[in-house]
Amino acid sequence: MAQILSGKDVSEEIRQGLKTEIEELKTSYPGFCPGLAIVQVGDRDDSNVYIGQKVKNAGAIGVTASHIKLPRTSTQSEVLDAVERLNSDPAVHGMIVQLPLDSENEIDSHRVTNAVRPEKDVDGLHQINAGKLSRGDLDSCILPCTPKGCLELIRRSGVTIAGATAVVVGRSKIVGSPMADLLKWNHATVTVCHSKTQNLPDIVKTADIVVVGIGRPQMVKGDWIKQGAVVIDCGINSIPDATKKSGKRLVGDVDFDEVKQVASWVTPVPGGVGPMTVAMLLQNTVEQARKMAAKCVAGKWNLELNPLKLVTPVPSDLVIAQSQTPKNIEILADEISLLKEEVDYYGKKKAKVSLKVLDRLQNHKNGKYVVVTGITPTPLGEGKSTTTIGLAQALGAQSKKNVFACVRQPSQGPTFGIKGGAAGGGYSQVIPMEEFNLHLTGDIHAITAANNLLAAQIEARMFHESTQTDEALYKRLVPDVKGQRTFSKIQLARLKKLGIGKTDANSFTPEEVKSFVRLDIDPTTITWQRVLDTNDRFLRKITVGQGPLEKGHTRECQFDIAVASEIMAILALTTGLRDMRERLGRMVVASSTSGVPVTADDLGVSGALTVLMKDAVRPNLMQTLEGTPVFVHAGPFANIAHGNSSIIADKIGLKLVGGDGFVVTECGFGADIGMEKFFNIKCRYSNLIPNAVVLVATIRALKMHGGGPTVTAGVPLPKEYIEENLDLLEKGCSNLRKQIENANKFGVPVVVAVNSFATDTPAEVALVQKFARENGAFDAIKCSHFAHGGLGAAELAEAVSKATQQPSNFKFLYSVEKSIEEKIETIAKEIYGADGIEILPAAQEQIDRYKKQGFNDFPICMAKTHLSLSHDPTKKGEPKGFTVPIREVRASIGAGFIYPLLGTMTTMPGLPTRPCFYDIDLDPETEEIVGLS
C-alpha cells in the first residue's frame, strides 16, 4: 500500500519557512516587502477561485499581492501596457498572467507571458526561462511552479532521482515538457509520452518515477505501474458522483485506488500537486524579492575595467577617446547594480537614470563625498575636469573602489567657440567624448525650450492685458466650456495667493476679477531673458515687438547663453520632481507696477515648464576611458549661478557606491567661487556632508600668480613657464595658501593635486608640496593622470581616501538669517581677503526691495571675475588692501539664491576670430567626428 505524498502538508511547511524568511528580510531591509502582481483578463469563475487562493496564501506569509483585473473588452495592447507598468514597478518582484485570457478580442497569450520580464516571471513561462531550463541552466532561471512542486514532492519521497528511470505522461508547455527537463537535469533517464505514444502502459511500467499530466480522468491504472514506483498526479478533473451533494467530484489523471495498491508513494487529488503549485509560486516570488533586496545593499561592483593603451607623446583628446571602445551602457548599468526599469537608454553609450533609485536605496549608506576645485584660474589652465576623471579612474581601476565621477554638461557655446569640450583630457576623459560635448541627451535644449516658453508668455501676457478689458481677459482665462467655467489647478493656486476663497467663477466681483486677471507687469523690472546655446554677441541687446501686429508693444531686452538660465540653476539644485515643480513656479521674472513680484506660477506656465523638464531632471550615465561610471548632469554658470553639477546626480551616486565607495564631483572656477558656492549653496540644499576637497594647481599657473608674464594664444610660452624658477613659483604659492585656507574654513580636509607637466622640475614640485603641507593641506601629491590615466593619480587616490577618514567638522560660512549685506561682507572678507565692501546706491535699493518682498533668507551667490581673488581680474596671487564694490544685486528665487554683481558679467559669450568649429567636421565615409578638442 502506497504512502500518501501530501502536497497540503509539504506546502504548509514551505509556507511557514517562507513566512520566517520574509520576517528576516523585513528586519534586514526596513520598509522592504516582497510583492506579487496577478494580471487577470475577464471574469472566469475558475480563475477568480485560483487567484483568490493565491492572494490569500500570499497575504498569510507576508507577501503583498495585487490583483490587476482587466475587463473582457481589453485589447492585446492594453494587456501588454498593464504588464509593462508592472515590469517597471520596483515594488513588484514577481508577476503572473492568469491563463486562459478571457477577452472578447483576440490576444496572443504567448506574447503576453513573454512580455513579463524574465526576472519577474515567477510562473517560469517566459521563453528565456524555458530555454535556460531546457539547456540545464537551472541556477540562472526561474523554474515553473507545478514541475518545481512535483520535484519537491519526489524528493520528499526519499527516492534517488539520479540514475532512476522516469516517465512523464503529457508534454504541455506548463507541466509535461518542463517536468521532463527538470528530471533530466537531475540525472534521471527520462521518457516523455503523449497521446500518440504506442504501448503506453508498457512504457509507464518501466518507470521508477511517474509524473502524469495528460488531462484524462483516471487514465493511468494500477497495472501500468511498476511495483514500488513513485507516482505524481498533476491532473485535476471533474467526474459525475451521485453520492456528492454537487453531483460530481474531483479526480486526477491516475486511478488513485488502483495505483495506491502498487506504488510506494502517490499524490492525492485534491491535496497533492495543487497546493504545491501555489507554494512554489510564493517561493519563486520570495527568491526574486531576496535578490532585489540584496541590490539594496552596497557591495563590491562587478565592474569590468577597460585597460588603457598609453602612447607617448600623448595624442589629441579626440584620438585617445576614439581609440577606446566604450562598454555598452546597458552592461555598465548592470555592473553598478541599477535595475532595468531604472535606466532609459539613449543609444548604446549613454542613458538616463530614474530618480526612483533614491527610493529603492533610501536606507543605503552614503559613500565618501569629494569635491574637486582649483586655485584661481589662469589662461594656462589647471585641469580640474581632467583631475576629477583621473581621480575617479584611480579610485576605481587602481584602488578597486566603487566610484562615481559627477561632472557638468558642457554648453555647445564654448565647444564651438574658444574653449572646446569639457570631457577631461589626455588619458582621463569621459567617453564617447563626441556625444558628451554635443547635445548628449538634449537637457540643454529642454532648458532652452522651457526658458523661451516663459519669455514668450511674459510678452504675450503684457500684450493681452494692454489690449483687453478686465471682463474680456476673464472670459478668455476662464472660458465657458459646455456651460461650465472652471479654474485650472494653477489658477486655483493664484486665487489662494490673492486671498480669494471663491471657486465659483460666476460669482466674482469686478474687483476680484481685476485682481485675478491683471499682473500689471512693469516692463522696466523684467529680469527674464531669452536664451540660446550658441555664442552670439549680437544678441546681447535686441528689440522685440517690431512686427506690425504687436501694436507698438516693443521693448529692449537680450539673449543669454542657455546655461545661464535660472532653469539650469534649478536643475542643478533640485532634489526631485516635486521640488523642481515648486522651484519653477517660484521663479520671479518681474515686478508689478505696485512692486509685487510676478512669478512663473502667476503667469500660469510653471506646470508646462515642468513637463518640458521631466526627462532633463534625470542624470545622464556615461563612463570614463577606464570603464568607471560617470554622471553628467546640469551645467550652471559659475559666476551668476553656483557652477556645480546636480544634487540629484551626487545623491544617486552616493547611494550606488555604498558606504565604502566615493563620489568625486567638480565645481567651476577657483575655490573662491565654485567651492564656496558648493559649500554654502549646494550643500545647504542637499544636506550632504563633504568629506574632502581636492585643490588642483599647476606649477605654471602658480608662476603666473607670482608675477609671471602674460600669455598670448598662438605664441610659444615665455621661458619662465618652461624653465625652473623657484622664486616666481614661491611668490605665486600665496594664491594656493589662500585657497587652502578657504577650504579649511569649512572644516574639510584639503589634498592638493599638483597637476604636473613635463617641464616641471623635481625642485619645483617639492617646493609646492612642502608649501601646501606647511600651510594647512592634509597632503600634496604630484599627479600625471593626463599622461597615464588612473595610474597617474593612484597616489592622489590613496591620499584622498585617507583624508576622507578624518572626522568631519563641516560648517557653513554664514547663517542665511543674517542680512543680505552681512552675508556679502562675510564672503568678501573671509574668502576673498577684502577689507570690506561698498554697496552702491542702485544695489542697496535692490537689496531693500528683496528684503521687503521676503527674500532676505537666501544664500549668496557672488558674481565676480574668476581670474582673481578680488573683483579686479588683473590682480593675481593673493591681493591685499581692496574693497569690493557691489554695483547691482539680482535674485534667482526659484533656484534659491541672491546674486550680487561685483563687475560687468557677460551672460552671452561671443565667437572669437578663429572659433573651434574651424577644425570640427564629419568624415562622410566613416561618420566619425573629427576636430573636437
Catalytic annotation, residues: 54
Using a 10 angstrom Cβ sphere, with 0-12 exposed, 13-18 middle and 19 or more buried, the burial of residue 148 is buried
For residue 413, report the phi and psi dihedrals to the nearest 5 degrees. -60, -65
Compute the distance between CA of residue 437 and CA of residue 620 in angstroms, rounded to an integer.
13
Spatial distance between the Cα atoms of 568 and 620, rounded to a whole number of angstroms: 15
Q: How far lies 857's CA from each of 161, 644, 814, in Å?
A: 75, 21, 11
Cβ-Cβ contacts under 8 Å for 604 (sequence gap 6 or more): 457, 488, 490, 491, 494
User: Could you tell me which of 655, 677, 652 has the C-alpha nearest to residue 666?
Assistant: 677
Annotate 802-846 with DSSP letters as a single string: HHHTSPP----SS-TTS-HHHHHHHHIIIII--SEEEE-HHHHHH
Cα–Cα–Cα angle for 816, 817, 819, rounded to 5 degrees: 95
Q: What residues pair up with 374 in beta bridges, in sequence order?
A: 696
198-212 CB burial, b ≥16 within 10 A, e <16: eebeebbbebbbbbb
Half-sphere exposure of 889 (CA within 13 A, CB side): 28
Beta bridge partners of 192: 168
Q: How many CB atoms lie within 10 A of CB 537?
A: 12
Rounded to a whole number, what is the distance in angstroms from the first to the last CA of the chain?
84
Helix (H/G/I), strand (E/B), else coil: 490 = helix
Amino acid at 765: V
- Beta-sheet strands, E only, within 568-661: 588-591, 597-599, 620-624, 629-632
Buried b (16+ CB within 10 A) or exposed e, 686-712: bebebbbbbbbbbbbbbbbbbebeeee
- What residues are paired with 156 via a beta bridge? none
Largest CA distance in the chain: 112
Q: What 3-state class would DSSP assign to 475?
A: helix
C-alpha span between 118 and 132 (Å, rounded): 11
Classified as helix, coil or strand, 270 is: coil
- 793-811 burial: b if 16+ Cβ within 10 Å, else e: bbbbbbbbbebbeeeeeee
* Helix residue spans in 123-241 (DSSP H): 127-134, 145-157, 176-185, 200-204
Kindly compute the dihedral angle of the four CA atoms of residues 609, 612, 618, 620, in this order, to the nearest 10 degrees: -130
Burial string for 572-581 (b: 16+ CB within 10 Å, else e) reads bbbbeeebbb
Burial group, residue 625, by CB count within 10 angstroms (0-12, 13-18, 19+): buried
Determine the Cα–Cα distance for residues 425 and 115; give it in Å rounded to an integer: 44
Q: Which residue's entry shows cell 527537463?
A: 181
* The residue count for the chain: 933
Helix (H, G, I), strand (E, B) or coil at 300: coil
Q: What is the DSSP letter of 85?
A: H
Collapsed DSSP state (helix, strand, coil) of residue 753: strand
Q: Which amino acid is at 521?
A: I
Q: Which of 4, 740, 842 is nearest to 375 (CA)?
A: 740
Number of other residues whose CB lies within 10 A of the CB of residue 277: 24
